[in-house]
Amino acid sequence: MSERFEMVFLGTGSPLPNPDRCGAGTVVVAGDTHVLVDCGWGAARRILPSGIRPSVINTALFTHMHTDHMTDFPDFLFLRWTAGAQTPLRVFGPEGTAEMVEGFLLALRRDIGFRMAHHGDKLHPDGIRVEVTEIPATPEPHAFLDITGLRCESFEVDHAPVVPAFGYRFSFDGRVAVLSGDTSLCDSLAAAARGADMLVCEALNVPMTEQRIAALKAAGMVRESALLADVPSYHIATDQVAALAREAGVGEVVLTHMIPPVANDPEQAAAFRAGMIDVYPGPIRVARDIERLPVVKRAS
């Protein structure tokens, strides 16, 4: 029997407000290992409803230093600590990760002292510590961690001007899942996705985004409209995801980080992925927050 290998979606949204979708956050579950990837707004609050105890997450990875991937990290640290963590959290990410962690810990410094003064030895001092390793940016998958059979590789994607930005490739028990991070169409993502059983990919629907840009402009929201018009340049369009997945022989596509935001509604999800099915023959899902999807052996 194959071991448990799942993607648990904490947040499937973007910086654009959406009541159904928090900022980016995914927990990779491989056997008893839990690895958090990104922790955007609201993602930490999705951990318990997802059936995961925060204290079992001992490793966190970051894809890049955009707010929608990191601002719930302080909340996660406290949830993990007060849930009983007794060891430091290991954090891996691109250049900038150490500075981000240091900044959050500085902001938390007084409260860490208050909690320890109030709760004494019920809180382990190591449970709020963080050990950061910054990973070099390489276009080819770079193995940086192996946790009881879960092999973690990073690869640089194209999210310029956000440099460096990473995607991650996870191999476990004969299966492979790739998380794109935020990226435009790029060769490194196509290479990393080759033969993956599951590709969890960010996606932007071009007609829906254009409609929204026009609607904002028509409503006199000129600045908002102009800002949204900048967004497509560093994201991957749904038709590009479909073509990449077909070329790379990916077993299953799971869309996340949807732009523009889509509600948890089958009609909107269908509209968002419209046209992809004509290009890519495999299953295509639009992920939801607090959804748990098994990585199934599919790619040949």
Residues in touch with Zn ion (CB under 5 A): 66, 68, 182
Residue 175 or 235: which CB sits closer to Zn ion?
235
Instruction: Give the span between the Cα atoms of 253 and 61, in whole angstroms.
Output: 21
Question: Across the chain, which distance is largest between two alpha carbons, in Å?
Answer: 61
Instruction: Give the span between the Cα atoms of 117 and 227, in whole angstroms.
Output: 46
Residue 210 near residue 218, CB atoms below 8 Å = no
Least separation in angstroms between CB 203 and Zn ion: 12
Residue 158 or 182: which CB sits closer to Zn ion?
182
Least separation in angstroms between CB 271 and Zn ion: 21
Least separation in angstroms between CB 115 and Zn ion: 31
Residue 179 near residue 63, CB atoms below 8 Å = yes
CA distances from 151 to 35, 164, 249 (A): 11, 21, 21
- Give the position of tokens 């002292």: 113
Q: Which amino acid is at 168?
A: Y
CA distances from 185 to 89, 124, 149, 158, 202 (A): 32, 44, 30, 7, 10
Indicate the burial class of 154 (C-beta count within 10 angstroms; 0-12, 13-18, 19 or more).
buried
Residues identified as active-site: 68
Least separation in angstroms between CB 13 and Zn ion: 9
Residue 94 or 141: which CB sits closer to Zn ion?
94
Residue 182 or 289: which CB sits closer to Zn ion?
182
Residue 182 or 197: which CB sits closer to Zn ion?
182
Least separation in angstroms between CB 15 and Zn ion: 6
DSSP type of residue 275: T
155 C-beta neighbours (distance < 10 Å), count: 25
